[in-house]
Structure 1
Amino acid sequence: MPGGRLSHQDRLDIADGLAGGLGYAEIARRLERPTSTISREVARNGGAGGYRADHAHYATASRARRRRTGSAATDVPAADPRRAYVERFAAMMVEGGLPRMASRVLALLYTSDTRTLTAPELVRELRVSPASISKAIGYLEQVGLVHREPDPVRRLQHYVIAEDVWLKAWEVSARTNHNWAETAAEGIAVLGPDTPAGQRLAQMAAFFDRLSEDMSGGAGFQDCLAVLAVLQGTVDAGAVAAALGWPVERVTDVLDYAVKTSGEDLAEQPAGEAAVGEA
């Protein structure tokens, strides 16, 4: 079995294993380490319920520096502060519900000077397999947080973070809450509104429906979208973008969103109500 100190990646794998409910022996087998090494590492750094890979890595380095009294500080390799920040940034997004690898890719792209990286660069920076990057990029593209652009010279794809990434993330969250509400409503119809389960689902549906409406801005916001949808053909997107200091793409995205959302709202209304609204 390999010896030496646990690496940062080893500790990330330990944290993943604990989160997935694996025992120390299974984690040790996957890392090709003695079980005692894993058990000591976890016990020393918060236990199975409180183990955090980044904290464990830096705490171990700190203990090593304290033990090496009389040695120069440069004898201990310093942690890369940028890499550490990217991991903390990603951990925050994971706590918010984003998949772990997608969070790491998004955090790295967001902290890049150019807001764009290629797949080989992501693999090198995050020290993971190309397949992991491909899966994470696929998810981020699906929810609109990242898009790809071809390299004009080389046969490479550049992955670019969306200009309005946090607005898009907010919209994804609002849609998720709406889906929760709809799923709960379907359950009420299946199980019956008078059953204990149906009553719990009714509370769930009401909660997520209100949350989704609040995140979407409520009825007033929908009225604004309806007006924007009507004006879409007459609005000078370039002039609006210049006045707001936005990219033109962001203005056109808002107008497209207004058309899509307003159309869905009208489709959900009974025919009589839609006619009154149009009148």
Structure 2
Amino acid sequence: MPGGRLTQADRQQIALGLADGLAYAEIARRLNRPTSTITREVMRNGGPTDYRADLAHRATQQRTHQRRQAAPTRRKASAQPYGRDTAAVRDYQETLTTVFVTSGLPRMMARVLTCLYTTDSGSLTAADLAQRLQVSAASVSKAITFLESLDLVRRERDQGRRERYVVDDDLWYQSMIRSARSNDEFIETARKGVDVLGRGTPAAARLENAARFLDFVSEALIRAAEQGREVLYTRSDSAGTPAEPEAHQPDL
């Protein structure tokens, strides 16, 4: 796959592909680019319905200019622990953010979650997040409240009584259980509809089948989550290295 930045001509082809209803993978194939490149480009510039080639190109040029102006400061502040490559970490953070966005998270919430997941400690204060992401404390607070409502982060207080936001292994389990139970209301309502519409009628059968399917899938997910929970607490060899003091990570 070729490297380098997307050109204005590339962006025009992306816009044409979106207008034609092409999938990201097909647009990427036509441009001979990774699918992740196209996904990231579209999601950070308005999404599939609002993407505009000229606006995307202008925004990219502006971001590049801002990064160059901030480069002297960033070089001092972005040293990575464990000998990590700073540019590779930044690219990975952008990729992970895009994955969260395409899964349904608003971009600000996705950036906060990415920042927490790529932090060795797995926890940061509001001030830490605001500094790393270069956003306001209000934006961080709004994002955390949203993520907490989905059981994707939790709050705790450190020894200094500061509030910290945490991502840990058990949150995946809790999120899976919550997801499995999210269909319960529909299942119950669908089963009520069977009696209202008349058992044995086509409409009632459709609702009953949907309820049975979702009930089966939800219970299977819960059993799998219970059985697999111990995996979340099994440390791999690579996870056994003692943590070293964290350096400031690059902005997302």
TM (norm. structure 1) is: 0.47
Q: Distance in 2 between matches of 1:173 and 1:117?
A: 26
- Distance change (3 Å), C-alpha of 1:245 and 1:194: closer
Indicate the residue corresponding to 1:184 in structure 2: 190
Matched, 1:170 2:176: yes
- Distance change (3 Å), C-alpha of 1:135 and 1:197: farther
- Distance change (3 Å), C-alpha of 1:191 and 1:91: farther
Matched, 1:55 2:61: no
- Distance change (3 Å), C-alpha of 1:97 and 1:191: farther
Report deviation, 1:211.
0.5
- 5+ long unaligned stretches in structure 1: 1-38, 65-73, 225-240, 247-279
1:89 to 88, 96, 115: 96
Indicate the residue corresponding to 2:132 in structure 1: 125
Q: Percent identity?
A: 38
1:150 to 149, 157, 175: 157
Report deviation, 1:159.
0.6
Matched, 1:216 2:202: no
Letter in 2 for 1:105: V
Report deviation, 1:207.
1.5
Q: Distance in 2 between matches of 1:114 and 1:245?
A: 17
1:207 to 213, 225, 228: 213
Indicate the residue corresponding to 2:122 in structure 1: 115
Q: Which has the higher contact order (CA 8 A, sep 6+)?
A: 2
Letter in 1 for 2:207: L
Letter in 2 for 1:90: T
Indicate the residue corresponding to 2:28 in structure 1: none
Deviations 1:121-151 (A, max 9, x none): 2233334443332233123323433222235
- Distance change (3 Å), C-alpha of 1:129 and 1:208: farther
- 5+ long unaligned stretches in structure 2: 1-7, 25-37, 45-55, 62-67, 72-85, 236-252
- Distance change (3 Å), C-alpha of 1:178 and 1:114: same
- Distance change (3 Å), C-alpha of 1:55 and 1:203: same
Report deviation, 1:152.
3.7
Indicate the residue corresponding to 1:43 in structure 2: 12
Give RMSD over aligned pairs.
Answer: 4.3
Q: Distance in 1 between matches of 2:138 and 2:223?
A: 38
Report deviation, 1:55.
3.3
Is contact 1:177–1:211 with CA below 8 Å preserved after alignment? no
SS of the residue corresponding to residue 148 of structure 1 reads strand
Is contact 2:39–2:98 with CA below 8 Å preserved after alignment? no
How many residues were matched structurally?
172
Is contact 2:130–2:140 with CA below 8 Å preserved after alignment? yes
Q: Distance in 1 between matches of 2:131 and 2:14?
A: 28
SS of the residue corresponding to residue 144 of structure 1 reads coil
Q: Distance in 1 between matches of 2:206 and 2:101?
A: 28
TM (norm. structure 2) is: 0.51
